[in-house]
Amino acid sequence: MAPACSSLTGPLTRRLPSFRGLWMSTRFVRVSSAQAQKVISRSSRRQHVLCEVPETTEQLPSVSKETWQTLVLESDIPVLVDFWAPWCGPCRLIEPTIVKLSKDYEGKLKCYKLNTDENPDITTQYGIRSIPTMMIFKDGEKKEAILGAVPESKLISSIEKFLVR
């Protein structure tokens, strides 16, 4: 019986290209939303990989230091707050999921986003150390924190715990 790896040494074996680090270009390439998520183009023996994160047509309403008390702490229904920053890729990836959930739970849950760069006082007050962080508030109190860009099912299970039936 031949060794399991013998096919790797036959005539089909070829040398793989070596990795020489990432290369970034200052050229901007427009990618339509109808095109694939990843676009690969070649330029002078270097390879560019562009990733497009689709912009959501609807965004979560923002909350700030000035509106925090009335919109979050004095709300008569549970509130989910997305602590985010514009430079954070995972934050932008999870926003469409939270927008969807805000529609699904309309009238039962309010959803807002808080820019951590513009509101350091609230960020520090609630001990936010990494983003995205989603917090659920009910009756003016923090009830649960969800760290990271988690699946929709994880957010749903956290939200369901605090909804009035």
Catalytic residues: 88, 91
User: Strands across the sheet with 79-84, in order?
Assistant: 110-115, 79-84, 133-138, 141-147
Q: Report the chain's C-alpha Rg in angstroms.
A: 23
Residue 111 near residue 158, CB atoms below 8 Å: no
Taking CA atoms, 120 is separated from 38, 78, 110, in Å, by 35, 23, 22
